[in-house]
Amino acid sequence: MTIRDLISAYQSNRKTPAEVIRETYARIRDKGERPVWIHLVPEEEAIERAMLLGSYRDNLPLFGVPFAIKDNLDLVGTPTTAGCPEFSYTPAKSATVVQKLIDAGAIAIGKTNLDQFATGLVGVRSPYGACSSVFDERYISGGSSSGSAIAVAAGLVAFSLGTDTAGSGRVPASFNGIVGMKPTRGALSTAGVVPACRTLDCVSIFANSCEDAALIQSVAQGFDESDAYSRPAGQPVAWSSRGFGFGAPRPDQLEFFGDESARALFDRAADRLRELGGRQVEFDYAPFRDAAQLLYSGPWLAERFAAIREFIEGHPDALHPVTAKIIRGGERIGAADAFTGMYELQRLARVAESQWRGMDVMLLPTAGAAYTHEEIAREPIELNTQLGYYTNFVNLLDLAAVAVPAGIRSNGMPFGVSLIGPAWSDAALLELGERFGSQLPARMAQYCPNGYVPLAVCGAHLSGQPLNHQLAEAGAFLIESTLTAPEYRLFALQGTVPAKPGLLLQPNGGTSIEVEVWAVPQARFGGFVAGVPSPLAIGNCKLANGRLVKSFVCEPIGFSNALDISHLGGWRPYVSSLASVDKVAVQPG
C-alpha cells in the first residue's frame, strides 16, 4: 500500500477514503489487534473522518491516507501509554507532527506497540505482547518502534510514525523489509512525544518507499516554538548524482556476528551504489563505534532516568524487568560523570569529522544479524547492544539516516543497509535511497522471503472476505496491497458460492484492479492450489510496478453471463454496492 497508489485510486474515483478505511479495519481484524496495536481509533470515528474529507483535493497531500502512531506520541483523545499501562494518560491535543499529518488529510488508525519507554531495539519489552517480524514469527521485529514497523510491513496502513534515539526507526524497518527514515535532530518537532533522551530523540517515519517517506517528512517537518529542541531548517546538504563518494568501513571493522550471508548482501549493496555513480572509499569506523558505546552510559543513560524519574520512583514495579535494569542504571551517574561523557563525545565528534572529508554519504548495515525470540530471551542486553552497533552513534553525532531493504539473508529474514549523512542531508539521502531501491533486480524479494510464493488475490480471499481464512490456514501472510497493471478486467461470476470475481487479461482496454499479494509457504502452495475450484485457476498477473506474481485467474467459460465490474476498480467496492442496494430495498415505502 503506497501513498502514490492510494492517491491514484482517489483521483480516478476507483476508491473513496471511507472504503479504504473500512478495508484497513478489516485487515486489522483479520490479523488481530495484539501485539501490533495498543489502542485503535474507533472504526466509525475513522470512517466519519474519511467521509468529512469529501472528494479528492490536491491541496491535501495525504488525502485519505491511513497511518499509525507509536504509542509514545500523543493523539488527542486516545491514551498514551509508552508501553506501560500504569503510565497511561489521555492527551488534550495531538503531538505537533501528528496534527500536521492529520491537517494534510491523513487518517489516524491507532497507537502501536513499542519497547517500553522506547528503551530497546528488540520489540519484545512490552506488556502488550512481543512483536515478531512479518517474515518469520520466530524472529524479533526489532524495536523500539516495533508495532509501527509491522503495521506498514503487513499492509495494515500506508505509513507510520515511530521514534528513533538509538536506532528504533531503523532496526525494525530492516527486520520487516521496509524503509525507515531518521531525520536530522530537531527537523520534526518532538512536542507531544514522551521523551527517552530529550536531547537526542527524533520522530521517525516508516514507509513502503523513500518517495513516500520524503512526502511524509515534507509535511511533518518545520520549526516548532513549543519544542525547546526544534531547529530551524539548515542549509540542505546534497551531493552530485554522478560521482558521489560513499564510505564503507574497513573490512576488519565490519561486524555481522556470525551471519556471513549478511556480509555478502552488504557487498552487493556497495556494488549497487557504484552502479549508481558512487565512488567507494574506505574510512575508519572506530570513532563512530566508540561514540555508539556512549549512548547507554554517562549523560544519556542518566537522561533516560531523568525523563521518567518521578514515575519510576512512584511505581517501582511498573517497568519491564529489563527496561528497569537499564534505566535505573542512570541513577548512579553523577554530574562529574556526565561531563566526562560529554567531553569524550566531543573528542570523538572531532575525530569523526575528519572521516567525512573523503565521503558524502556513509553506507552501513542497519543491523549485522537478526535474532530469534529465543536468542533474545537468553541474552537480552548483549544482543540488544549488538543491534545498535551500526545505529547508536547517529543522533549523538548529529547525523541523518535512512534504512532501506537490500535483500534476503540465508535464514529468510530481510537484510537492510543504512545511508547516513550530515545534518540536513535528509532529502539527498531519501533521493539516493529511492534510486538504490529501484536498482534491486527482484524488488519483490524484499517482501517475500525464501520458501514462500507471492500470490495475488482479488476477490473472496481478500482481507475481511469470506475465504481469507484459507490463506491464514495455509500459513500465508499479507505482504502488499497494490494494483495490477492497467491491462485487466474484473467480472462478477455467476453462480459461485461464496460470490467470486474473475480476472481477465485485456491489454487493450484494460484498467488497474485492486489486489493483495500474500506470501504462501511453498510447502503448502500445492495443497492450496489443489483446492481452487473451477472456473478459477492459478496463473500469472502483472502488478502496477511491472512485477509478475502468481494470481487467481479465470477459465474462459467462467465469463459467460458474468458482469463486468472493472469500472469499480476492485471486488470490495462491488460488494459494498450490493450491500447498499440491499439496504435501500428494505427501506419502508
Report cis status (omega within 30 of 0) of the bond before 35: yes
Q: What is the grid cell recorded at 205?
A: 517515519
User: Phi/psi class of residue 562: alpha, beta or left (left: φ > 0; alpha: ψ in -120 to 50)?
Assistant: beta
Report cis status (omega within 30 of 0) of the bond before 501: no
Helix (H, G, I), strand (E, B) or coil at 372: strand
Helix and strand counts by DSSP (H, E) for the chain: 20, 19
Q: What is the grid cell recorded at 257?
A: 556476528
Q: What is the grid cell recorded at 365?
A: 548495515
Q: Catalytic pick from 94, 168, 481, 551?
A: 168
Q: Among this protein's residues, is 560 annotated catalytic?
A: no
Q: Catalytic pick from 15, 31, 70, 111?
A: 70
Q: Catalytic pick from 94, 126, 133, 144?
A: 144
Classify strands 279-283 and 245-249 as parallel, antiparallel or unpaired.
parallel
Distance, CA of 318 to CA of 85 (rounded, Å): 8
Q: Among residues 168, 175, 181, which one has the least CA distance to residue 154?
A: 175
On the 0-12 / 13-18 / 19+ scale of CB atoms within 10 A, 36 is: buried
Q: What is the grid cell recorded at 223?
A: 520549526
Q: Among this protein's residues, is 354 annotated catalytic?
A: no
On the 0-12 / 13-18 / 19+ scale of CB atoms within 10 A, 43 is: middle
Distance, CA of 269 to CA of 562 (rounded, Å): 48
Classify strands 548-554 and 452-457 as parallel, antiparallel or unpaired.
parallel
Distance, CA of 503 to CA of 392 (rounded, Å): 49
Q: Are 514 and 36 in contact (CB under 8 A)?
A: no
Indicate the length of the chain as a whole number: 589
What b-and-e string marks burial along 82-99, b requiring 16 or more CB atoms within 10 Å of the CB?
bbbeebeeebeebbbbbb
Q: Among this protein's residues, is 70 annotated catalytic?
A: yes
Name the β-bridge partners of 480: 517
On the 0-12 / 13-18 / 19+ scale of CB atoms within 10 A, 462 is: buried
- Phi and psi at 542, nearest 5°, equal -95, 130
Q: In what order do the strands lie in the sheet with 452-457?
A: 477-483, 514-521, 452-457, 548-554, 536-542
Distance, CA of 164 to CA of 195 (rounded, Å): 11
Contacts 24+ apart (CB under 8 A), 52-61: 53/17, 53/105, 56/7, 56/10, 56/11, 57/105, 60/104, 60/105, 61/104, 61/105, 61/215, 61/218, 61/219
Distance, CA of 489 to CA of 453 (rounded, Å): 24
Distance, CA of 155 to CA of 136 (rounded, Å): 16
Q: Are 84 and 67 in contact (CB under 8 A)?
A: no
Helix (H, G, I), strand (E, B) or coil at 562: coil
Distance, CA of 570 to CA of 22 (rounded, Å): 14
Catalytic machinery residues = 70, 144, 168
